[in-house]
Structure 1
Amino acid sequence: MTEMILSEQLDLFVADIIDAVPKGELSTMEYPIFAISTRPDPKPYRFENPKTGAWMEILPSSKGRATIHDKDILLYCFGQLAEAANRGRQVSRKVHMVAYDFLKQTNRGTGGREYRAITDALVRLRGTTFNTNVRDGSQLAQKGSVFGLIDYGQAVTDNSGRLTHVEVVISEHLFAALNNKQILTYNPEYFMLSTGYERRLYELCRKHCGNQNSWEIGFKNLHNKFGVRSSLREFRRKIKELVVKQSIPDYYIHLLEKNGPDTIEKLIVKRKTSKNYISES
């Protein structure tokens, strides 16, 4: 991918590429930054990986922690920026996108509720911050660092009060990941996944299975990576529903059980042989 050039003046990048595919930044795929519930979650959340020593504190604003559906704005922006860079265009952290185009490409409706939801998402994205020792992918810092998702967000309306376009300034932390090619392509069918559990499982499969034929993860570790407050028992029930549904694009999932159906040892992921997006960065 062509290296991106960031204007020091933060010139406005216009997101106008029709066939751009969504892209996800690696650390936001690996760590449970986003709440998977659509209900506001105003409580801080702490993630710890006992094997690597990585930790992250997610600090929401009074409006709640950014949700995995709010993340669609970032996936859309990353996809537009990456494709523009591939075409030799100058890009910037400051992104202008047409609200209607965003709603259509992320498989949302175009009614008043969907337009209003964009503004709510901007508030949560701007208000959620992180304190972590994770730096530059898998590297760990000796001390914690604080960063956010976006530095600024604005929903612009016309004279009739209808939202026409959105301006977002992506944080330097996330934009650096784009410059360093720390991103992966999402299957556009991701936007058809209605629940947070489906979306979170897809991005974990996408990141960890990659172009391998299979991947497996211990069930307690999976529960930790989801970043949910529900009990392990409730989490097990949700994952079992996904196994029956088999709705995750590009991947089959099944559970390896031991000593009865209530004791799940690990989740097994197998890549489908049909065309998918795992080979693209």
Structure 2
Amino acid sequence: MMYLSDYINYSEDKGQKPECFISFQNDIGIRDSRNLMDVALFRVSKRSKRAGELMRYTLANGYVEIKSGPDGMASVWDYDIVLMLVSYLTEAMNQYREGKGNMPGRVLCPYVRDILKFCRKSDGSRQFAEVELALDRLQGTIIKSVREISGSGGRIFRNVESEGLIGSYSILSRTNIGRVSQVKIEIPNWIYNGVTSGKNPQVLTVNPGYFRISTGIGRFVYRLARQASGKTEARWSFRTVYARSGSESDLNEFSRLLRKIISDNDLPDYDLREETGQRGPQLVMTYRKDSLNIFYEEA
């Protein structure tokens, strides 16, 4: 059997640009795309598939729409695979910038066991099947970004971009045991360009404790705190957090769930509290100064 590392070395020996890049290791930093961490690109509920639905977030210079296909909207747990793409692409670019490797291409080729290990999931037969279902939902969940951009002479241009949470994918199965073995996942432009363009990739590191957050809303709040607060403090009204979460619950139920997260106050790296504001209750997110700084050295 030719393993992925053998394939890459073989391609390089033949003077070909490797189709896949892979350098799986245990201590890789976890990253997320900085640009869209303040909106939910996924459903936060485990129960509702939300097939054929649309979520729309109004921003200062436009809006973002999340559209789901017939397989359902990608969940925040499916999004762990996107974190994997961002993380390994960033690692490969760091190596390239240091002169220690080639410019990475757009295809990541993990084994399913590598995906499960990265996402801190058990290596069971059901999990292997779930990876394929997650890839279906990720590919069928489309991000459409519409923004107004200032041009020369004071002219305003409308910029529209639309792309899936992942690009195409393919799977090679070990048919004798019925398990998915090797996966090829195409990295979409919104991730690839954000990591490879310019000197500084548009990513933020994520605490590995993120994978232990059990609720979808809790995971969204952590991503929001990481993007908005950084190493300081940020405050958002409950209404705005609710609007950006894409939650199907009404505001009262969402506020109840958010207050439970505030009361538990066990998210990695950030202390949460509620304060009264002019627009109603406010979520205050404060960086916990005793957090391990290794997680917050930018990519």
Q: TM-score normalised to the size of structure 1?
A: 0.87
CA contact (8 A) 1:210 1:279 kept: no
Question: Does structure 1 residue 110 correspond to structure 2 residue 123?
Answer: yes
1:184 aligns with 204
**What secondary structure, in the 3-state scheme, does the structure 1 residue paired with 2:37 have?**
helix
Deviates more, 1:65-74 or 1:38-47: 38-47
Deviations 1:201-230 (A, max 9, x none): 110000010122x11111211111111121
CA contact (8 A) 1:254 1:269 kept: yes
Name the Cα RMSD after superposition: 2.3
Q: Distance in 2 between matches of 1:47 and 1:64?
A: 16
Q: CA distance change for structure 1 residues 10 and 60 in 2, over 3 Å: closer, same or farther?
A: farther
Instruction: Select 2:227's aligned residue among 191, 203, 207.
Output: 207
Q: CA deviation at 1:96?
A: 0.5
1:272 aligns with 288
Q: Distance in 2 between matches of 1:36 and 1:210?
A: 22
1:3 aligns with none
Instruction: Select 1:41's aligned residue among 39, 50, 54.
Output: 50
Instruction: Select 2:108's aligned residue among 66, 83, 95.
Output: 95
Q: Distance in 1 between matches of 2:94 and 2:161?
A: 31
Q: Distance in 2 between matches of 1:135 and 1:26?
A: 20
Q: TM-score normalised to the size of structure 2?
A: 0.82
Instruction: Select 1:30's aligned residue among 25, 38, 46.
Output: 38
Q: Distance in 2 between matches of 1:36 and 1:135?
A: 29
Deviates more, 1:215-224 or 1:159-168: 159-168
Q: Distance in 1 between matches of 2:70 and 2:284?
A: 38
Equivalent residues in 2 for 1:166-185, closer than 5 Å: 166-180=183-197, 181-185=201-205
Q: Distance in 1 between matches of 2:132 and 2:107?
A: 17
Q: CA deviation at 1:20?
A: 1.0
Q: CA deviation at 1:107?
A: 1.3
CA contact (8 A) 2:86 2:191 kept: no
Q: Distance in 2 between matches of 1:141 and 1:195?
A: 39
Q: CA deviation at 1:266?
A: 0.7
Question: Does structure 1 residue 153 correspond to structure 2 residue 169?
Answer: yes
1:144 aligns with 160
2:134 aligns with 121
Q: CA deviation at 1:165?
A: 2.3
Deviations 1:95-145 (A, max 9, x none): 001211221222111111111111011001111112221489xxx961432
Bigger radius of gyration, 1 or 2?
2
Deviations 1:163-200 (A, max 9, x none): 22221001122210111311111111111112111111
Kindly tell me the number of residue pairs found equivalent between the two proteins.
266
**What secondary structure, in the 3-state scheme, does the structure 1 residue paired with 2:135 have?**
helix
2:146 aligns with 133
Matched letter for residue 240 of structure 1: R
Q: Distance in 2 between matches of 1:128 and 1:94?
A: 19
Instruction: Select 2:82's aligned residue among 58, 74, 85.
Output: 74
Deviations 1:20-73 (A, max 9, x none): 1211112331222111112311142232336x1421221111011111111111
CA contact (8 A) 1:22 1:188 kept: yes
Q: Distance in 1 between matches of 2:67 and 2:18?
A: 27
Matched letter for residue 152 of structure 1: S
CA contact (8 A) 1:198 1:247 kept: no
Instruction: Select 1:13's aligned residue among 7, 21, 28.
Output: 21
CA contact (8 A) 2:65 2:144 kept: yes
**What secondary structure, in the 3-state scheme, does the structure 2 residue paired with 1:18 have?**
coil
Q: CA distance change for structure 1 residues 135 and 258 in 2, over 3 Å: closer, same or farther?
A: closer
Q: Percent identity between the aligned chains?
A: 25
Q: CA deviation at 1:10?
A: 6.9
Instruction: Select 1:254's aligned residue among 273, 279, 291.
Output: 273
Matched letter for residue 256 of structure 1: E
Q: Distance in 1 between matches of 2:83 and 2:94?
A: 17
CA contact (8 A) 2:195 2:203 kept: yes
CA contact (8 A) 2:148 2:158 kept: no
